[in-house]
Amino acid sequence: MSEKRQNHDSGSAFEAAYGYSRAVRVGETIHVAGTVGMDYASRAISPDPAEQTRQALRNIEAALVAMGSSLADLVQIITYVDSAESFEAVGPVLGEVLGEVRPTNAALVVGFPFPDIKVEISGLAMIGCGAAA
């Protein structure tokens, strides 16, 4: 018997336009799409890579909570940054927010299609594997 798929959309205009979901749950596994530090309610994005990281993690957390999980269940993240200098600001925020969770992480320097984006984070969560939130 196959597990039923559950999609979650965050309200980003890109999800509908580009044909993807913020997160997809199958069974106890949640895959989170690359998530930027935009506040989807205000459509604002900070120029500061550290604040973009905090907002991206808030966006990821909202998707996980909507699907019955939390940041504590993250087992893997991939962090994309626009430069090594940006990662110097991003890394400590990851440690601050995810320090007790300690998911695996690969960090890559990439070129983003939009100049305001400094960081994007994708993730994988396994429901129930983390500490109580």
Per residue in 5-38, pLDDT (tens digit) is 999 888 777 888 888 888 999 999 999 998 999 9
The pTM of the whole model exceeds 0.85:
yes
- Please check the confidence at residue 57 and state whether its pLDDT lies above 90: yes
Give yes or no for a contact between 76 and 105, defined as CB atoms under 8 angstroms apart: yes
Most confident of 9-13, 56-60, 127-131: 56-60
Provide mean pLDDT across the span 87-112.
96
The alpha carbon of residue 31 and the mean position of all alpha carbons in its chain are separated, in whole angstroms, by: 10
Ordered alpha helix ranges (H), the chain: 13-18, 49-66, 84-98
- Please check the confidence at residue 3 and state whether its pLDDT lies above 90: no
**Dihedral sign for Cα atoms in the order 55, 90, 133, 2:** positive
- From 19-23, 55-59, 129-133, the region with the lowest mean pLDDT: 129-133
Confidence of residue 131 (pLDDT cuts 50, 70, 90): low
CATH superfamily, domain at 5-126: RutC-like (3.30.1330.40)
